[in-house]
């Protein structure tokens, strides 16, 4: 607020006026900082306070629901995940079909391609998301997908300060189960009903004969059987009675004598066995100091995040030291170093729903009638000669019975006996010097290096499973990522006549990234506890390769404002990328932006009607950015070296195209920033239009070429939308403050041009091509589904699907229905992309107490719920023993002919075929974070020699509401979801922060 002088009198009343000069924050921008008021582009900022509330090893998770325009998805909850399933970030839509859509990460001014888990969140001062051309065009060939700038903390002037933060908590599964049939008796009843219906309708048996045969075959090992009967039934009686219900005399547990030994068959809860609660603990200590000539920051952190399944965890130790010193009036130097060591254990085949090695696929899809363990006649779990618990692999070792569902596998046992571990070291070092001369000039040299080395060990056990015959397989993988970055910046800043503010920057940057990979595998291990290659004797192959990528750019920026009312900015960068042929290596990228601080105009300030508006700024920008994230060596033909009868031979791999170049992104942004009611209500509203030109496409080639395909830049796409961010201080008194925030983003994606070669078919009148369940065509959005449309049921309860009727010329003249999904017509059925997404939250503080609650949401879009589809399917001879969803209890029967759910009858092939019936709303609401704390009064803690003491509780990933219980639309942007991934982790912790 503005300082004011008033005459003292009785009943004194002072009205404070907003002082925008005091509220004018400094924000991080490309190659420097800028006043927020002078910024003509679009950016979202998440500060240290918000980042510190989140319990995560990946700092970008703090953006969820807090940065407008940002979509953050993660398919897996595996602690420390950084492989193919690492989180994905999209900013203002999707810019490419085949090229990368990930934003550029800038860490303390340098590009960062390392693991985000290597950065301690407690070291971060702020994260700034640059979203338009005016803010990120200076990053040229790599800025088209947006830029996330991470700035670490530095020392502050004043006395040295030590901060200790410690938290301990419990991890648990954050998502709920699908509503499957849990009761074994009820499952048998439903399976019996499906068999009996088949015998009566397809085999024309009488009710009595069908009843007898359903009981006879349902627990057998033939085409109709589930293999296992876990109930003991009195002799001469059937498991299921004529009324379709379980025999009341049947008891759980069935003792079977096999080869002279008794085995007890009983049900186990596979899902309950898959997950358990675990411990999370984190400790952070930092030292901060500074003076008018120097600053110093140092930190040490330890994180132990145990997984919620056995043999999964992430352990990390990080350290950072950051300092700068004003050597002379004209010379400043500084350095920033960090080190991370991590060790992780993970589960193999995470997310592979049809894999016998995926513990989550089993847990969510297996019927509730199958034993997890092998038990003796008294119910004791057997142990083998190595004292390992005996797990039922469904391969005949349990009472000689074979399980039809994923026979030969038990991922619970494999998870305990196999090894999937990874450990590594990462280091980032940055240094700079800054020289000022001729009063208005500043030259800065920044150099940085980042190295990330990891070593993975994978051992497949020699005891059980499909690879037991190999007597153990061990493999070692070593990878190293090394990158260098050098910047030279020359800045000129001048104020003329107190109203003309001029800033000019020119610079040069070079970046190089090298990746090294080495892998080898051997089998027939001497001792499975020795995982080194020397401990096995049979060579299984080895491989190694390197990649090399570098860019170089020359750039400049001009910023001007008049009287801090009219702002102009322009930038230009000429960039080269090694991913293109030398003839096409250089590209030009630019931006123009302007802003008008209308609230500083005299007519605005003199208007009584506008007094409630403290600040209003209108802004607009346009520019061009590039995307070179297309993979290496696309411009040259590549070959695989293979063994040809003992001689090396080169086999065509990919056909090069020397004309490949950047995908170019034209970006228009316009909007306004405002502050009202003494800054009690503030926000930003923006319109954006992004057009991607020269999209990279893969073109198929006939077999005679030897190559399967080649790449070319042909295709256009656009993203157009609106985003808004609002902040409200609803109540503000001496002791009580209540803040509310909301952000939302709405955009529409559309492919505007496809090459004729890719228009290979027509669907719903749109020419294009299909890939899996998606269709790509002009005038429609990405991730548009192409599949049959469900048409209800026929009089027998069978599923129907629509089919076009065509004349002799192929023209559509009408529609009919068919019971065969394979013969149905494929239609366009909407898109996975949402209509609106964002977040909201609230924060309250009262006399030392503080509470914050944050939500993220999504409205619209569709996901293909393949898990639900599987649970709604009829059993067949090739697919038995899968879980049933409770909704099958409402399936069509002659007595329930009004149902829209197809009948449950054994052998029905198209009951739950992929169709728009299983496209489900992708809308969700997630309670992301709750943080509640109490800061002890200063006069209390000073007696203890402390400066501050806060105790708190924090909860993350608290709850999810979605269209269907068990469905998690947050797993992907493209609508592919499955519970076969490691579930998200809910963490509830208590902690304390001490400052002295």
Query: What pLDDT sits at residue 15?
Result: 45
Rounded Cα distance between 523 and 471, Å, is 7
Closest CA to 320 of 90, 535, 486, 120: 120
Q: If pLDDT is split at 50, 70 and 90, which confidence band does 324 have?
A: very high
The pTM score is 0.92
Q: What's phi and psi for 584, nearest 5 deg?
A: -125, 25
Rounded Cα distance between 847 and 935, Å, is 9
Closest CA to 614 of 722, 503, 729: 729
Rounded Cα distance between 365 and 980, Å, is 9
Rounded Cα distance between 640 and 652, Å, is 6
Please give the angle made by the CA atoms of 57, 58 and 59, to the nearest 5 degrees: 110
Rounded Cα distance between 783 and 556, Å, is 38
Domain spans, the chain: 184-268+351-414+873-911, 790-824
Q: How far apart are the first and last CA of the chain?
A: 30
- Structural tokens at position 560: 């001007």
Query: What pLDDT sits at residue 24?
Result: 64
Is 412 in contact with 456 (CB distance < 8 Å)? no
pLDDT for residue 217 is more than 80: yes
Average pLDDT over all residues of the chain: 93
pLDDT digit string (tens) for 512-546? Answer: 999 999 999 999 999 999 999 999 999 999 999 99
pLDDT for residue 464 is more than 60: yes
pLDDT digit string (tens) for 15-57? Answer: 444 444 434 678 889 998 888 888 999 999 999 999 999 999 9
Counting residues of the chain whose pLDDT is more than 70, the rounded percentage is 98
pLDDT digit string (tens) for 132-186? Answer: 999 999 998 888 899 999 999 999 888 899 999 999 999 999 999 999 999 999 9
Instruction: Give, as one character, the DSSP assignment of residue 901.
Output: S
Closest CA to 417 of 370, 359, 333, 492: 359
More confident of the two residues 353 and 66: 66
Lowest mean pLDDT among 228-232, 353-357, 421-425, 753-757: 353-357
Rounded Cα distance between 836 and 858, Å, is 6
Query: What pLDDT sits at residue 7?
Result: 52
Query: What pLDDT sits at residue 21?
Result: 42
Rounded Cα distance between 519 and 516, Å, is 10
Rounded Cα distance between 964 and 129, Å, is 33
Q: Are strands 473-496 and 441-460 parallel, antiparallel or unpaired?
A: antiparallel
Instruction: Give, as one character, the DSSP assignment of residue 765.
Output: T
Q: Which residue has the tokens 């390992």?
A: 388
pLDDT digit string (tens) for 107-123? Answer: 999 999 899 999 999 99
Query: What pLDDT sits at residue 426?
Result: 97
Please give the angle made by the CA atoms of 774, 777 and 783, to the nearest 5 degrees: 30
pLDDT digit string (tens) for 335-388? Answer: 999 999 999 999 878 878 778 788 998 999 999 999 999 999 999 999 999 999
Q: If pLDDT is split at 50, 70 and 90, which confidence band does 701 have?
A: confident
pLDDT digit string (tens) for 849-864? Answer: 999 999 999 999 999 9
Query: What pLDDT sits at residue 289?
Result: 95
pLDDT digit string (tens) for 764-780? Answer: 999 999 999 999 999 99
Alpha-carbon torsion, ordered 21, 26, 32, 38, to 10 deg:
-40
Q: If pLDDT is split at 50, 70 and 90, which confidence band does 401 have?
A: very high
Alpha-carbon torsion, ordered 833, 836, 838, 840, to 10 deg:
-150
Query: Which residues does residue 453 pair with via DSSP β-bridges, in sequence order?
Result: 425, 480
Angle between helices 184-201 and 207-217 (to 10 degrees): 130
Residue 583: strand, helix, or coil: helix
Closest CA to 30 of 165, 143, 124, 167: 143
Q: Which residue has the tokens 């309670």?
A: 927
Rounded Cα distance between 961 and 898, Å, is 29
Rounded Cα distance between 50 and 129, Å, is 15
């Amino acid at each position: 607020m503005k300082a004011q002088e008033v005459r003292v009198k009785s009943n004194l009343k002072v009205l404070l006026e907003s002082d925008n000069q005091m509220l004018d924050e400094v924000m991080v921008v490309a190659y420097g900082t800028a006043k927020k008021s002078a910024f003509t582009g679009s950016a979202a900022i998440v500060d240290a306070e918000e980042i510190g509330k989140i319990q995560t090893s990946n700092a970008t998770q703090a953006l969820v629901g807090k940065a407008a325009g940002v979509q953050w998805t993660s398919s897996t909850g595996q602690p420390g995940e950084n492989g193919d399933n690492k989180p994905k970030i999209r900013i203002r839509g999707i810019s490419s079909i085949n090229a990368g859509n990930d934003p550029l990460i800038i860490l303390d001014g340098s590009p960062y391609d390392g693991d985000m888990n290597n950065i301690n969140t407690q070291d971060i001062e702020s994260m700034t998301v640059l979203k338009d051309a005016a803010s990120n065009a200076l990053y040229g060939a790599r800025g088209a997908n947006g830029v996330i700038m991470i700035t670490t903390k530095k020392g502050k002037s004043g006395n040295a300060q030590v901060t200790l933060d410690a938290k301990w908590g419990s991890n648990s599964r954050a998502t709920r189960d699908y509503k499957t049939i849990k009761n074994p008796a009820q499952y048998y009843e439903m399976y019996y009903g499906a068999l009996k219906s088949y015998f009566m309708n397809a085999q024309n048996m009488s009710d009595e004969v069908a009843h007898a045969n359903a009981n006879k075959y349902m627990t057998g090992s033939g085409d109709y059987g589930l293999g296992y009967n876990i109930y003991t039934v009195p002799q001469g009686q059937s498991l299921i009675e004529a009324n379709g219900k379980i025999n009341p005399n049947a008891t759980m547990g069935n003792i079977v004598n096999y080869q002279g030994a008794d085995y007890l068959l009983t049900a186990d809860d596979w899902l309950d066995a898959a997950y358990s609660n675990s411990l999370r603990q984190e400790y952070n200590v930092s030292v901060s100091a500074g003076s008018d000539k120097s600053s110093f920051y140092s930190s040490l952190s330890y994180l132990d995040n145990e997984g919620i399944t056995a043999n999964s965890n992430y352990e990390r130790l990080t350290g950072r030291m950051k300092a700068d010193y004003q050597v002379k009036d004209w010379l400043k130097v500084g350095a920033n170093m960090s080190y991370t060591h991590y060790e992780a254990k993970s589960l193999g085949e995470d997310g592979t729903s049809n894999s016998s090695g995926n513990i989550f696929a089993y847990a969510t899809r297996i019927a509730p009638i199958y034993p997890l363990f092998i038990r003796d006649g008294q119910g004791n779990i057997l142990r083998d000669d190595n004292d390992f618990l005996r797990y039922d692999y469904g391969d005949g070792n349990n009472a000689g019975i074979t399980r039809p569902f994923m026979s030969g596998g038990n991922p619970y046992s494999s998870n305990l006996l196999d090894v999937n571990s990874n450990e590594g070291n990462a280091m980032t070092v940055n240094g700079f010097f800054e020289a000022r001369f001729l009063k208005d000039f500043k030259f800065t040299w920044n150099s940085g290096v980042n190295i990330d080395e990891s070593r993975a060990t994978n051992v497949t056990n020699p005891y059980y499973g499909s690879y037991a015959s190999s007597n153990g397989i061990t493999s070692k993988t070593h990878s190293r990522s090394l990158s260098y970055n050098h910047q030279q910046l020359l800045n000129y800043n001048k104020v003329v006549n107190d109203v003309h503010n001029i800033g000019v920057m020119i610079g040069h940057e070079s970046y190089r990234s090298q990746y090294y990979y080495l892998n080898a595998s051997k089998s027939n291990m001497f001792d499975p506890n020795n995982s080194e290659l020397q401990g096995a004797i049979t060579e299984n192959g080895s491989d190694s390769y390197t990649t090399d990528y570098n860019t170089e750019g020359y750039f400049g920026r001009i910023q001007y404002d008049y009287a801090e009312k009219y702002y102009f900015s322009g930038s230009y960068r000429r960039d080269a990328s090694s991913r293109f042929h030398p003839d096409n290596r250089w590209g030009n990228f630019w931006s123009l932006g302007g802003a008008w601080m209308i609230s500083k105009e005299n007519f605005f300030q003199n208007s009584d009607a506008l007094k409630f508006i403290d600040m209003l700024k209108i802004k607009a920008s346009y520019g061009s950015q590039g995307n070179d994230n297309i993979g290496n060596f696309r411009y040259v033909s590549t070959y695989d070296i293979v063994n040809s009868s003992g001689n090396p031979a080169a086999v065509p791999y990919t056909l090069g195209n020397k004309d490949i170049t950047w995908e170019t992104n034209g970006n228009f942004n316009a909007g306004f920033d405002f502050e009202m009611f003494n800054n009690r209500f503030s926000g930003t509203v923006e319109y954006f239009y992004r057009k991607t030109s020269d999209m990279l496409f893969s073109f198929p080639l006939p077999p005679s070429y030897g190559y399967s395909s080649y790449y070319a830049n042909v295709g256009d796409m656009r993203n157009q939308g609106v985003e808004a961010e609002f902040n409200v201080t609803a109540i503000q008194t001496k002791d009580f403050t209540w803040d509310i925030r909301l952000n939302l983003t709405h955009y529409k994606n559309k492919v505007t041009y496809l090459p004729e070669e890719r228009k290979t078919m027509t669907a719903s009148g749109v020419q294009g091509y299909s890939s899996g369940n998606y269709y790509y065509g002009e005038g429609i959005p990405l991730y548009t589904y192409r599949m049959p449309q469900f048409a209800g049921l026929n009089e027998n309860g069978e599923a129907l699907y629509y089919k076009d009727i065509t004349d002799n010329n192929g023209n559509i003249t009408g529609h009919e229905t068919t019971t065969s999904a394979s013969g149905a017509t494929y239609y366009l059925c909407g898109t996975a992309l949402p209509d609106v997404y964002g977040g909201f939250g609230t924060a309250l503080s009262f006399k030392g107490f503080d509470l914050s609650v944050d939500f993220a949401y999504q409205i619209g879009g569709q996901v293909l719920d393949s898990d639900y589809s599987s649970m709604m399917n009829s059993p067949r001879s090739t697919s038995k023993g899968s879980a049933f969803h409770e909704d099958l209890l409402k399936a069509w029967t002659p007595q329930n002919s009004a149902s829209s759910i197809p009948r449950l009858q054994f052998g029905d092939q198209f009951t739950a075929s992929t169709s728009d019936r299983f496209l489900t709303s992708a809308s969700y609401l997630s309670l992301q974070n709750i943080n509640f704390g109490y800061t002890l009064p200063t006069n209390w803690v000073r007696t203890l020699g402390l400066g501050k003491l806060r105790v708190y509780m924090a909860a993350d990933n608290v709850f999810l509401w979605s269209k269907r219980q068990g469905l998690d639309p947050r797993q992907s942007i493209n609508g592919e979801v499955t519970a076969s991934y490691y579930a998200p982790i809910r963490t509830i912790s208590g902690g304390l922060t001490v400052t002295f």
